[in-house]
Amino acid sequence: MNAVISSLDRNYRLCDTRITDSEIILYITSTLEKLCCPYCETMTGRVHSYHTREIQDLPISDRKTILIVTTRKMKCINPECRHSTFAERHPFVNPNAQKTNRLIERILKTSSEMSSVCSSRLLKNENIIIGKSSICTLLKKNTSDRR
């Protein structure tokens, strides 16, 4: 499982694993002590609070795979910065997304070759759970990003 996490990003480590008949749940956390404020680019190690994000990743051994990612809310130490806090960003997922970038790539690749109804069904067989309408939204977003 450590290899799965290092292939995601080398600055993350696996804290715990839970395996059921249908799911693999990996608890991961960043090893970086300091993060860069996205607004003023000052490095800070002051943590305001912690929460977790639940993010679906590529299936492992045909099981639906969920990452539980520790996410920090950091305090910016720059008194001139207009933002006192900021949320930790993870390089493998967009700020508000619930799926990793590599999972989204897989979904887009599958759905580029068939209808969203078929791809939703096919992906479900691979234990990638996504509805037909979410596929349509992803496809639309991806087309507009490329323009």
Query: Which residues are at the interface with Zn ion (CB under 5 A)?
Result: 37, 39-40, 76, 78, 81
Q: In b/e form, how buried is each residue of 18-30, taking b as 16+ CB within 10 angstroms?
A: eeeeeebbbbbbb
Q: Whose Cβ is closer to Zn ion: residue 71's or residue 142's?
A: 71
Query: CB of residue 95 vs Zn ion: minimum separation in angstroms?
Result: 16
Query: Shortest Cβ distance from residue 11 to Zn ion (Å)?
Result: 21
Contacts of 26 (CB under 8 A, 6+ apart): 1, 4, 5, 14, 16, 17, 57, 65, 66, 67, 68
**Cβ closer to Zn ion: 87 or 139?**
87
Q: Which is nearer to Zn ion, 44 or 119 (CB)?
A: 44
Least Å from the CB of residue 88 to Zn ion: 13
Give the integer Cα–Cα distance in Å for 35 and 77: 11
Q: Give the residue with the Cβ less far from Zn ion, 85 or 98.
A: 85
Minimum distance, C-beta of residue 40 to Zn ion, in the bound complex (Å): 3
CB 80 within 8 A of CB 40: yes
